[in-house]
Amino acid sequence: MSVLCCGLLLGGPVVAGAAAAPSAHTRTGQESHGRGTPVSAEKLYTLDSAQAVAAELRGAGFDDGAVRHGVVAYRLVYRTVDPEGRPTTASGLLVLPLHSERRLRAVSFTHGTGVHKNDSPSMSRGSFVSAPVIAHASAGAAGVAPDYLGMGKGPGPHPWMDIDSETTASLDMLRAARTFAPRTGHVLERPVQVTGFSQGASAALALGRALRAGEDRWFRLGALAPVSGAYDFGGTELSALLAGRLDAKSGVLYAAYTLVAFNRLHHVYEQPGEVFRAPYDGTVEALFDGAHTGEQLMRGTPATLGELLTPRGRELLAHPTGPLAAALRTTDAVCTDWTPRTPARLYLATGDEQAATANTTRCRKALLRNGADVPVVDVGPVDYHGSRHLGSNVAATADIVRWFRQLREK
């Protein structure tokens, strides 16, 4: 689905005070597959003045108060690895400020859920998924945003909520941006300011964890500000979804995407009819092929979970076992098995209809147990296209742009 349809979001043992060990996939080394090597770079557009950027941001519904520069935007296609560690390519958006310092701090923004390949930063100008990147660049940073595997110009289906591949795609996009930046007269500094929304909030925490663990020779974590994530996806989020505490249609879409996406990687069910009721058992998997729009997904799914799920499908989400449970443990570890040692904040909106705010509460408590007292910032009741969840990204972006700029200027 388009993020404008439903917002789509999304977000082990505790090792206090420790950085996480590299995962099996990210441990594959950058050099082994030329990871982070640019394959192509395409200039997408130039907003040649602060006034032009301000108009672009306002048109997308975002704050323009921190704009200082015009910007130039590029789509990078780069080498990375798939969930099995095999070579593949991905794309992403790099936005640079005009008439700025030669040395730039990178801000990595990881976006919320979309189902069509175009629901990604490098494919959507002046949109909900690209506006935060433009906003950070216009404030004097290098805005870096992976499209994720299977999105944008990437081949194959998107491995939704697969933390390992979100991390490798994000880290390799940073590497590609660093390699490309000198062609524009810039170099990227070592510290990276990391943020992300919804699905991208979990991805941001995972990228921060990788940078903290030294998984890149150059970049290190400079600051962290995820927004409205489902950090305890397998517990808090799925429980709230099944209990009807979240928006009903969003719950249908997330339940469907969870089963389809996790089945692709982890063999959760044999036949769709085991988990989806007719007629959706014959149609729902195709809706998540990257070629269907959010509107098509909305029309092609029912209004309630009872119409979508079989008893077996509901039981799998309520009490995950086997490969699904193991995969969800990895997804849900983004707050529990590491400690940020840099400035960090967690953003949310009270009344979020898609990401239960208890996810953020649990994340903060887990980080505190590990020795990091990370404050929670409630951005208040800001709606975007009728969604408090989407509104949290708009409101938080304005605050994070200013906060990150203050940190850079210290």
pLDDT of residue 70: 98
**CATH class of the structural domain 233-329:** mainly alpha
| pLDDT at residue 167 tops 80 | yes
pLDDT > 70: what percent of the chain? 92
Within 19-70, strands assigned E span 38-47
Rounded CA separation 75/94 (Å): 6
pLDDT band at 395 (very low <50, low <70, confident <90, very high): very high
pLDDT of residue 256: 98
| pLDDT at residue 8 tops 80 | no
User: Does the N-terminal peptide bond of residue 279 adopt cis geometry, omega within 30 degrees of 0?
Assistant: yes
For the record, the structure tokens of 8 come out as 């789509």
| pLDDT at residue 28 tops 60 | no
Please state, as a whole number, how many other Cβ atoms lie within 10 Å of the Cβ of residue 266.
16
pLDDT band at 406 (very low <50, low <70, confident <90, very high): very high
What residues pair up with 78 in beta bridges, in sequence order?
Answer: 38, 90
Rounded CA separation 154/3 (Å): 19
Q: Is 79 helix (H, G, I), strand (E, B) or coil?
A: strand
- Specify the DSSP element, H or E, that contains 185: none
For the record, the structure tokens of 52 come out as 């032009």
pLDDT digits (tens, 9 = 90+) for 298-345: 999 999 999 999 999 999 999 999 999 999 999 999 999 999 999 999
What Å distances lie between residue 192 and 6, 298, 367, CA to CA? 30, 37, 20
User: DSSP letters of 85-113?
Assistant: S-EEEEEEEEEEESS--SEEEEEEEE---
Rounded CA separation 409/185 (Å): 21
pLDDT digits (tens, 9 = 90+) for 62-104: 999 999 999 999 999 999 999 999 999 999 999 999 999 999 9
The angle that helices 131-138 and 50-59 make with each other, rounded to 10 degrees, is 150
User: How would you classify the pairing of strands 376-378 and 220-227?
Assistant: unpaired
Closest CA to 350 of 330, 378, 328, 312: 378
Rounded CA separation 256/72 (Å): 38
pLDDT of residue 32: 56
| Cα 137–chain centre separation | 18
pLDDT of residue 126: 87
The length of the chain in residues reads: 410
pLDDT of residue 30: 52
Rounded CA separation 217/212 (Å): 11
Q: Rounded mean pLDDT of the chain?
A: 92
pLDDT band at 366 (very low <50, low <70, confident <90, very high): very high
- Specify the DSSP element, H or E, that contains 149: none
CATH of domain 3-232+332-409: 3.40.50.1820
Residues 6+ apart with CB under 8 A from 297: 1, 5, 115, 253, 287, 288
Closest CA to 359 of 161, 198, 162, 160: 198
Domain ranges for the chain, please list them. 3-232+332-409, 233-329
pLDDT digits (tens, 9 = 90+) for 169-218: 999 999 999 999 999 999 999 999 999 999 999 999 999 999 999 999 99
Rounded CA separation 332/19 (Å): 16
Please state, as a whole number, how many other Cβ atoms lie within 10 Å of the Cβ of residue 230.
33
Rounded CA separation 387/376 (Å): 20
pTM summary value: 0.93
Cβ–Cβ under 8 Å, residues 349 and 228: yes
DSSP letter, residue 123: G
Rounded CA separation 160/150 (Å): 9
pLDDT band at 18 (very low <50, low <70, confident <90, very high): very low
Rounded CA separation 402/405 (Å): 5
Rounded CA separation 40/228 (Å): 33
Q: Which amino acid is at 342?
A: T
Mean pLDDT of 220-236: 97
pLDDT digits (tens, 9 = 90+) for 253-309: 999 999 999 999 999 999 999 999 999 999 999 999 999 999 999 999 999 999 999
Helices and strands in the chain: count of H runs, count of E runs: 14, 9
